[in-house]
Structure 1
């Protein structure tokens, strides 16, 4: 877990959320920090409050008042557990798109395609080689994404609400342009193959006497005939 990457995420909008899990006695068991759209478990640190967190994030004292820090309990309907009955493994797509200044990664869920911001995976880059993504669903069936390394939760990421008519139409336009470019590429390759076939010289072969295995000159072949 890279605390500096979490700090960069929170500093972007100067918004920090601290989610806390409590014991039956009211003691803090686990804390999770993030910007509200993505949160990460705090491991190996003492309980944090607004002041100590801003210090860890290297926020200058003169800028602290510009940050909005809120401490909350675990939100209802969102599972911060290592396992969840609704979770289902999902594959990371091999492409990302940049839209409205955000790099978005598409993920196929049981409720259709969702997009998460790629920057939310930066805090878990140190375990990226073993990182797996899972779809989980709220009580209302809305999908969200969790990242896990082995059986341990690394991040809870809410999809970015980007899908609308304009977004879909722009992707359709891009798909049509890609299809046209592909057809043009295939046409040029066919023409290049045709030119090569047309200009390729005839292959020469040697006349070999089947009895002796010796190469026979063309004049000798004519005389024997």
Structure 2
């Protein structure tokens, strides 16, 4: 079981396939500080005793295992970790299907033309004698068409598919998700996360005593009292 431990909260956030976790923090300063700290842990590879991610008794790396989404209009489907996983998967499948590693053999005419051109120079040259699929994909800037994913609902569904397909993160954290979606859309998002076995945490800056379908809430009010609401 994946568990998120946040100091100074008394209750851990435990992730279970039966529900989606919602963290509500009413105090704006506390809300902003938590997002700031989580963002630093992810982007600067820092460690902290204030936010700890556990799988069983094993401590996980937040920078490697947590994806933070705070702007659903501008989700980067081509971030480094995603593209590396995509390129590696293509390379592995290409090797299995075609058993070819050195792609320069396919460009022998091009290489010969280049050699003919540089033969007129009074210089000596050298170049790589082989190129891998991974290097080729990087050279031609092979990536997802980001223009295709242009709205919050499609963006988050795409991220779910990518994380599930390539096993990229242990936890996805989305900030202010309820500002973007109607209730029926949220339910579809929750179902999609469950179907793909994705651990999802929604963080909101307001306490709402009403529970939506599949929600499990940890709410912290302005007096820093904690309340757990379950279906």
The TM-score normalised by the length of structure 2 is: 0.21
Q: Which has the higher strand share?
A: 1
Q: Which has the higher helix share?
A: 2
Q: Which has the larger radius of gyration?
A: 1
